Chain A
Amino acid sequence: MVIKIILSIIIGTLLGYNFRFDFLIENIDYLIDLGLCLLLFFIGIEIGKNKQIFLDLKKFGYRLLLLPLAIVTGTIFGGFISSFFVDMNVFETTAISAGLGWYSLSAIELSKYSAVLGSTAFLSNIFRELMAILFIPFIAKYIGHTETIAVAGATSMDTLLPLITKNTNSSTAVISFFTGVVLSFLVPILVPFIIGLS
């Protein structure tokens, strides 16, 4: 599975780098949306077939909010630690990390402050997504299912939800979606707030 995932990305990247198809470039976001919508629908069917999931969600209760809280705290702490290793101040690194994998939004927000900051946010959050794609199968197997959601961050509700679902179970898929929704609400608040402190 991991090899197929890596191959899909490498083939796509090589095609994109070497061949510029106007139709694809103009409609790429629609194609991503189309693939994503189909996947979410199929995942919904899988969830619907397993009624135990909803009982599980009820059982977790307020504890479910612990997960996005832990992800945000851990991520921002990671941004703080990285300020010791890169040529940026602590507010810049934490603001970049607060993108939580949502590269388009965090890059747009931080581009308002500087182009370099915006580009770094874009790349950093792309890297987070790539790390998640590469490591989710290993994390699910050797560390734990909840931790796969931590790596994915805000994208645990959309682009990485299928990968999390395939490597964990239906309960984790529901929690992943819930956590992704909470994190996606937080990103547009956290990024401007943190960079505003600098």
Chain B
Amino acid sequence: MRILLYITLILIGSFVGSKNLFPEKLNKKLNFFQNICLFFLLGVMGYKIGISDEIFSNFNKIGISALIISFFSVVFSIIFVKISCKKIVTTKKESDDYGN
């Protein structure tokens, strides 16, 4: 259900964007709105980590194992993608880039 919500929101946004229904004045601030939402989201996610006693109390016991598993998972997923998907997307920034 959640996936459907996300797809619907992106589709509504795409429709608004393609039909130029978003006010021109606010269009220029789209990047700013995205940044505000992003930092808010990351801050709330950080808060969620901070209030999780489970993470802090178990950190020493299982933290190292978790770190090793996530490290190898990340490294090998990058290597496998690098090898097999070289030409799927361009790595050159487009003119519509967000400029960060």
Contacts and interface: CB of A to CB of B under 8 A. Distances in A.
B77 A151 contact: yes
Contacts of A50: 94, 96
Most buried by A among B15, B33, B68: B68
A126 B19 CA distance: 38
A81 interface: yes
Interface residues of A, number: 104
A139 interface: yes
A93 B69 contact: yes
Contacts of A181: 3, 7
Contacts of A158: 6
Given A47-B17, A50-B96, A170-B96, A75 B73 contact: yes
Nearest to B63: A123
Contacts of A44: 9-17
A189 B67 CA distance: 23
Interface in A60-107: 60, 63-64, 66-67, 69-71, 73-75, 77-79, 81-82, 85-88, 93, 96-97
Contacts, number: 305
A193 interface: no
A196 interface: no
Contacts of B34: 39, 42-43, 46, 162, 165-166
A99 to B, nearest CB: 9
Most buried by B among A20, A35, A51, A96: A35
A75 B7 CA distance: 25
A159 to B, nearest CB: 7
